[in-house]
């Protein structure tokens, strides 16, 4: 009988090699930019031909207008939710304005010991990076309206390899399983299967590139010729 991992690998093998080089690299030196991107990506259109209609375009516009917040969470807090909202819209998550979530998450990170103010504060001089990343994700998740999926996405944008098990990743995994007559899995198992598949076949420069290639399928399987 086909295993879950085998079923997933079969479908991933159909994704063109070019897709595994499409990851744009995130914001490894810009913690403020990464935080805005992560929060506003929740249930939103990320890319758009009209940059004013997509999260990525709006984020770039915000940072161009306020370059001081790109890698300074204190500057982001000082900028305030109202100014962030003027660039990023008044979108909400769990009934809360995303702009307010950004400011609260930034303050939570500033309140960590040692403090996280810039991207380098997460990695430089840290003896246990895994523990540090867990603390950062935990501080992010303490904000009502934010959760584990975008907490991981936030650190991925900062250059820490991971899997963002959102709707499109979960759907791709479960469609792969369904083609082999296997049952659906939850988010945690889907994430684990993607990690296992990367370890098994290693396409792309990193786990993040691998995740992004799957994400770009928008949950759809690649048709068989």
Chain segment 105-115, per-residue pLDDT in tens: 999 999 999 99
Mean pLDDT to the nearest integer, 133-145: 97
pTM above 0.75, yes or no: yes
Mean pLDDT to the nearest integer, 31-44: 96
The structural architecture, per CATH, of the domain 31-157 is Orthogonal Bundle (1.10)
What distances in angstroms separate CA 196 from CA 44, 110, 173, 222, 225, one per listed residue? 28, 34, 12, 20, 27
For the chain, domain boundaries: 4-23+164-215, 31-157
Chain segment 63-72, per-residue pLDDT in tens: 999 999 999 9
Chain segment 80-111, per-residue pLDDT in tens: 999 999 999 999 999 999 999 999 999 999 99
**Count of positions (residues) in the chain:** 225
CB of 109 closer than 8 Å to CB of 132: no
Sign of torsion, CA 11 12 17 21? positive
Residue 101 DSSP one-character state: H
Separation CA 21–CA 28 (nearest Å):
17
Separation CA 102–CA 7 (nearest Å):
38
CB of 71 closer than 8 Å to CB of 119: yes
Separation CA 127–CA 49 (nearest Å):
43
Chain segment 146-175, per-residue pLDDT in tens: 999 999 999 999 999 999 888 999 999 999
Separation CA 169–CA 216 (nearest Å):
9
């Amino acid at each position: 009988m086909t295993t879950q991992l085998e079923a997933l690998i079969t479908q991933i093998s159909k994704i063109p090699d070019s897709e595994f080089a499409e990851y744009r690299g995130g914001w490894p030196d810009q913690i403020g930019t990464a935080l805005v991107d992560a929060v506003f990506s929740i249930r939103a259109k990320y890319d758009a031909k009209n940059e004013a209609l997509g999260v990525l375009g709006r984020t770039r516009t915000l940072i161009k207008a306020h370059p001081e917040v790109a890698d300074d969470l204190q500057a982001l807090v000082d900028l305030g939710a109202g100014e962030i909202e003027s660039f990023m819209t008044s979108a909400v998550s769990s009934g809360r304005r995303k702009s307010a979530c950004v400011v609260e998450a930034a303050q939570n990170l500033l309140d960590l010991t040692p403090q996280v103010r810039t991207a380098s504060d997460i990695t430089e001089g840290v003896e246990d990076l895994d523990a540090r990343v867990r603390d950062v994700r935990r501080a992010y998740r303490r904000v009502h309206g934010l959760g584990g999926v975008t907490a991981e996405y936030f650190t991925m944008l900062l250059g820490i390899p991971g899997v963002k098990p959102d709707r499109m990743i979960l759907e791709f995994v479960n469609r792969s399983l369904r083609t082999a007559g296997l049952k659906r899995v939850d988010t945690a198992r889907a994430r684990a299967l993607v990690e296992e598949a990367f370890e098994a076949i290693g396409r792309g420069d990193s786990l993040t590139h691998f995740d992004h290639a799957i994400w770009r399928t928008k949950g759809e399987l690649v048709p068989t010729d």
